Chain A
Amino acid sequence: MSEPTFGAASGTPAATAPARTGRLSTATRAILRLAQPRARWFVPGLAAGVASLLCAVALLATSAWLITRAAEQPPILYLSMAVVGVRAFALGRSAFRYLDRLTSHDAAFRQLSLLRVGVFSRIVPLAPAGLADTGRGELLTRLVRDVDALQDLPLRVVQPLATAGIVAALSVAGVWSVLPAAGLTLLLGLVVAGVLGALGSGVLAARAERELAPLRGNLIGQVLEVVENLDVLTAFGALPGRLNALRQADELLRRATLRRSLGVGVQGALLSLFAGGATVAALAVGIPALAAGGAAGSLAGPAFAVIVLVPMAVFEVFGTVPAALGAWREVRSSAERVATAVPTVIPAEIPVEVPVEVSSGGATGATSAIGATRGQRARVVELTDLGARWPGAETPAVTGVTLRLAPGDRVHLAGPSGAGKTSLAQALVRFLDYTGSYTLDGVEARLLPQSEVRAVVGLCEQRPWLFDDSIRQNLLFARDTATDEELLAVIDRVGLAEWAAERGGLDARVGERGALVSGGQAQRIALARALLADFPVLVVDEPTANVDEEQGDRLVRDILVTAAEDGRAVLLISHTPVPDELITARVTLPGRAPGLRRAGGVLPA
């Protein structure tokens, strides 16, 4: 899969994604809510995380108290609690941390399943035509990766921020109770560091991103182009020039990165600065209090040591905040991309489901109109002046198609590439809405539930999807009651008996995305599925697109002969000629004005 969408994609997200510094859209917020585990799952991990960090602070505080108190040489008995405490906190810190990671990961994974189901349910009515620009493999992969990246929201954003916040607040309260002035300086240090850190990181990261992203996108696009077209560039002597341009793009990016690097470490440096500052401030307010201690009786040596050292521990806890803010930016852009790719509003070009009427006295409205069940013949499809348009396209992909398909008809729909043949196929199975008229046994398809239309009209896709599973599973979903004998029989009918036997029968795997299956074999599997599902009307979209000519002729012949055996109506869409004896009619779509297809083309290549 070497589709060059990275190059295109790297340019688009910066342009199409909502401004990074702006507010979250409602759709993005809905996606984020879906990613955050419910309290019942999330709180145990949070509690363990807080306990672990509290132990870390307490370990240093108790150690400081223990040492300073010991220096006063009290009876050793007075120290025994502190000794126990030091050891317990040391153990507790690591044990709670282990618990924290286990429970919070478990919660995130539990939520992942809800998240995936939620996104999936939103995709279902849109797929395939309505997924904004995700029709192509690489972008689809990115959508799925983005959904999975949302796991980081609870794990790397909410959890660290919440634990650090809670522990910092408790520590401030603790220090305050010993010496209010020291509590105040610690609080001030934390707040200023937090605010500066959050603001600074956002501004710096956004600026760096604005400056670097286009340069990076340009470079990556050029790299892809050179690597993928190495043969062409070499053959036409264009390689040295391209490599030169690439080196220049690389140098531009490198220089910009160097310029930006000065802002990179500022956050860490600020934290370190404020941690030290808080310690010095604690000394500055603690020393006078200690000196006056004899009189006021307020501050003893050991307590003084505690308030001086606790800020160090708190700031170490606080050190997770910059990473969490960085993770937040990534999670947010993932959520934004998911929200954009899966629109909440279904575009007008995608048909919406007809609500099934159950109101007026029993008869289930539309369903009964054609009483569709698979296996029944006598279906007549009539198209009158049919047109269809892709979401976001300005002009229809296909217009003015008029044809009639009766049982036993085998119609070849021809037309030059770009004439809208695939769009027509997508309209026939109601993936795209249509203009004009499309009737099934006289009933307008628009008025029927989509599932009813698809029970009658089946489609063998140009690129049939093969699931990463066994041959059996790849057939069985077309009719899950089929026995192994029936499956083997249908495999035989489509001419794959030998192929299946060679691989070890129905249990053989087809490989990820059908990697172990050739284009022609994939088409035959798709045909086998259609035969199993027993569609009365079958649309076959460019079965020979990925098959060489000789094999293609045989494939087309096999498809037409086999599919017609049961009196099925077949609409074969193909730009290559089909022998007259195989078909009953031929329809040719006129070529459209030459030039560009829909920009960003969802159309399969």
Chain B
Amino acid sequence: MRPLDPRLLRYASAARWFLLVGAALGLAQTLVVIAFAWLLSRAISLAVAGHGPAELAPTLGALVVVVVARAALVWLLEVAASRGAASVKSQLRARVLGRLAERGPDWLAGTQSAGVATLVGQGLDALDNYFARYLPQLLLAGIATPILVLVMLWQDLPSGITVIVVLPFIPLFMVLIGQATQAVQRAQWDALQRLGAGFLDLVGGLATLKIFGREARQADRVRTITEDYRGRTMKVLRVSFLSGFVLELGASLSVALVAVSIGLRLVDGSLQLGVGLFVLLLAPEAFLPVRQVGAQFHAAADGLAAAEDVFAILDDPQAPAAPGAPTLTGPPGAVRPDPDALRFDRVRVRRSSDRAGRAAPELTAVFLPGRLSVIRGASGAGKSTLVAALQGFVPFDGAISLGDAPVVPGTPRPWLAWAGQRPGLLAGTIADNVALGETSADPVLVHRALREAGAGELDPATRLGVNGDGLSGGQAQRVAAARAVYRARLHGCRVLVLDEPSSALDPEAEERLVSGLRRLAAEGLIVIVVSHRSMLRDAADQIVELDGAAHV
């Protein structure tokens, strides 16, 4: 893990700003620390030498000023960190979302959408601690430590050398112990993962356990799992806590060495008390940032991990679904050109990663206006992917054309209305959902679309929660279908595509939907439905099996 990823500076200008401000504040803080130590040691040594309160008053006054300045700098550094974190999060979030919009849904499906949403949402908050606790200390370790060591060398060579000798051991041991920790952790990894999730597994499965009358003994199992977890975790911690031990030991031992060596040289008179105290006070300060960097390592790790995930998305070299030159511009083939038909000519989706490792199916088919066509095929055969190709979300070989115009990826599709397998409803009223993408909803048209989708009984003013919460699965499906119908009517779309619109519908609702679709087809739309359902099959004018053969 790199302590400071250069990509952070590249992708977020606010991070550059913070580093500059932070470095300036760090430098000022270092100077204040030196001034404080110098004034304090001077006050003590003069007082011990017999100077009275009156003579020392100016020194004390200067100390007060320095103390106030030190507090102010501590405050400023934290403020800067908090501002830097907020701005960096905004910038990274905007970049990732911009990238998502650019690459489209298919690319998102290849990543893990839940992961991306969490990352862009709360995930980035992990950067708060990275900025507040880690980066300032990292800056200080780079600025304060060298300056303090130089001052010690200048004031008292032996003490400075002691610190210089001890300092490098700290990172060295940290690395060694870090590796040992990883080795132990790797050995325990599987068991730890499983035991860590074990409690959740039991709580989640509690209903199932109760059905089988097994709830009584599960408390014991919770105890066993947790005890096992404790044993294994402690094994890891015994090693990983060693790094903290080394940090503390290095720092306190060198203070001890400096103190004893100064003491002995004071006894033989080769050193003055003021200098001795000054160096003694500086020694722990030289170690402080290094210790903090080590102690805040974990806070930083979370933030850096979140940042890495963001960079992985931003760095992804995969080109956006290229406005692909269809590889086949050839003759229209056997089918007679119809000026309004939607034609798939040897269309095969280009997929780098088909999950099942199967080749995508090839489709040649003509969909005519006024017809209700049903696309069938075994689950996982790639029906939805073909729909995605029609939408322009995935690159494909072959050619799709609507009338005379070729349909290419990456261009808008004002002629297409679509409802996906997942309803994809948003928070807001049902009317808002049906009229998605429009600035205002036409109440008459909304009601008509709902009716035609078999959802006439729903009140358009009903407010839905996130993800359409408040509707049953079947109701949500019909609202999604109504949304496509609304768009088709409002914009006069020529093609209406519904992907598994009735999988959660009861027969009655399905019947209403089918008759609505028949009516739309009768009005001259190209209606394409991906479905397994027998009712739709029976109502279809054309059934397309996914091997490409069209049965009219």
Within residues 434 to 458 of chain A, which ones have a CB less than 8 A from any CB in chain B?
A: 451, 454-455, 458
* Interchain CB contact under 8 A, A269 and B203: no
* Interchain CB contact under 8 A, A116 and B199: yes
Q: Distance (Å) between the CB of B57 and the closest chain A CB?
A: 9
Partner among A63, A230, A270, A601 whose Cβ is within 8 Å of the Cβ of B280? A63
User: How far is B432's CA from A233's CA once the two chains are assembled, in angstroms?
Assistant: 13
* Interchain CB contact under 8 A, A276 and B67: yes
User: How far is B82's CA from A260's CA once the two chains are assembled, in angstroms?
Assistant: 9
In addition to A128-B207, A269-B71, 19 A-B residue pairs with Cβ atoms within 8 Å of each other are: A3-B467, A71-B272, A76-B264, A98-B244, A221-B466, A228-B113, A231-B424, A236-B437, A238-B437, A260-B82, A269-B75, A276-B66, A283-B44, A287-B53, A288-B53, A417-B472, A429-B211, A548-B503, A595-B458
Q: Distance (Å) between the CB of A474 and the closest chain B CB?
A: 10
Q: Which residues of A contact B459 (CB under 8 A)?
A: 594-595
- 20 CB < 8 A contacts A-B: A4-B466, A6-B117, A60-B284, A62-B259, A67-B263, A68-B273, A74-B267, A82-B263, A87-B260, A91-B252, A113-B222, A121-B219, A123-B203, A227-B116, A231-B424, A235-B413, A269-B74, A418-B472, A595-B462, A605-B472
Partner among B206, B249, B487 whose Cβ is within 8 Å of the Cβ of A124? B206
* Interchain CB contact under 8 A, B75 and A236: no
Ranked 7 nearest A-B pairs via Cβ: A265-B78, A276-B67, A113-B226, A63-B259, A269-B75, A109-B230, A236-B437
Q: Which residues of B contact A67 (CB under 8 A)?
A: 259, 262-263, 266, 273, 276-277, 280
Q: Is A561 an interface residue (CB 8 A)?
A: no
* Interchain CB contact under 8 A, A59 and B256: yes
CB within 8 Å for A243 and B97 given contacts A113-B223, A261-B83, A304-B44: yes
* Interchain CB contact under 8 A, B87 and A254: yes
Q: Is A173 an interface residue (CB 8 A)?
A: no
Q: Distance (Å) between the CB of B33 and the closest chain A CB?
A: 11
* Interchain CB contact under 8 A, B234 and A265: no
Q: Which residues of B contact A576 (CB under 8 A)?
A: 506-507
* Interchain CB contact under 8 A, B78 and A465: no
Q: Is A385 an interface residue (CB 8 A)?
A: no
Q: Is A347 an interface residue (CB 8 A)?
A: no
Q: Which residues of B contact A179 (CB under 8 A)?
A: none
- Chain B, 175-198, contact with A by CB distance < 8 Å: what is the 0/1 string? 000000000000000000010011
* Interchain CB contact under 8 A, A2 and B113: yes
The closest CB in chain B to the CB of A601 belongs to B469
The closest CB in chain B to the CB of A76 belongs to B267
Q: Distance (Å) between the CB of A162 and the closest chain B CB?
A: 19
Q: Which residues of B contact A346 (CB under 8 A)?
A: none
Q: Is A83 an interface residue (CB 8 A)?
A: yes
Q: How many residue pairs at the A-B interface have CB separations less than 8 Å?
A: 435
Q: Is A512 an interface residue (CB 8 A)?
A: yes
One of B5-13, B146-154, B235-243, B330-338 at the interface: B235-243
User: How far is B457's CA from A576's CA once the two chains are assembled, in angstroms?
Assistant: 21
* Interchain CB contact under 8 A, A272 and B79: no
One of A139-147, A405-413, A486-494 at the interface: A139-147
Q: Is B325 an interface residue (CB 8 A)?
A: no
User: How far is B71's CA from A90's CA once the two chains are assembled, in angstroms?
Assistant: 28
- Chain B, 77-92, contact with A by CB distance < 8 Å: what is the 0/1 string? 1110011001101100
User: How far is B476's CA from A594's CA once the two chains are assembled, in angstroms?
Assistant: 12
Q: Distance (Å) between the CB of B70 and the closest chain A CB?
A: 6
CB within 8 Å for A148 and B199 given contacts A287-B56, A301-B48: yes
Summarize A's interface: helix, strand, loop or mixed: helix
Q: Is B105 an interface residue (CB 8 A)?
A: yes
* Interchain CB contact under 8 A, A239 and B204: no
- Chain B, 22-56, contact with A by CB distance < 8 Å: what is the 0/1 string? 00000000000000100010011101101011001
Within residues 206 to 244 of chain A, which ones have a CB less than 8 A from any CB in chain B?
A: 219-221, 223-241, 243
User: How far is B416's CA from A227's CA once the two chains are assembled, in angstroms?
Assistant: 22
Q: Is B200 an interface residue (CB 8 A)?
A: yes
User: How far is B235's CA from A106's CA once the two chains are assembled, in angstroms?
Assistant: 10
CB within 8 Å for A109 and B226 given contacts A86-B260, A429-B211, A464-B208: yes
Q: Is A97 an interface residue (CB 8 A)?
A: yes
The closest CB in chain A to the CB of B423 belongs to A232
Q: Is A286 an interface residue (CB 8 A)?
A: yes
* Interchain CB contact under 8 A, A272 and B70: yes
* Interchain CB contact under 8 A, B212 and A529: yes
Q: Distance (Å) between the CB of A84 and the closest chain B CB?
A: 10
The closest CB in chain A to the CB of B380 belongs to A548
Q: Is A472 an interface residue (CB 8 A)?
A: no
- Chain B, 201-232, contact with A by CB distance < 8 Å: what is the 0/1 string? 11111111111111100110011001101100
User: How far is B234's CA from A254's CA once the two chains are assembled, in angstroms?
Assistant: 41
Q: Is B93 an interface residue (CB 8 A)?
A: yes
Q: Distance (Å) between the CB of B465 and the closest chain A CB?
A: 6
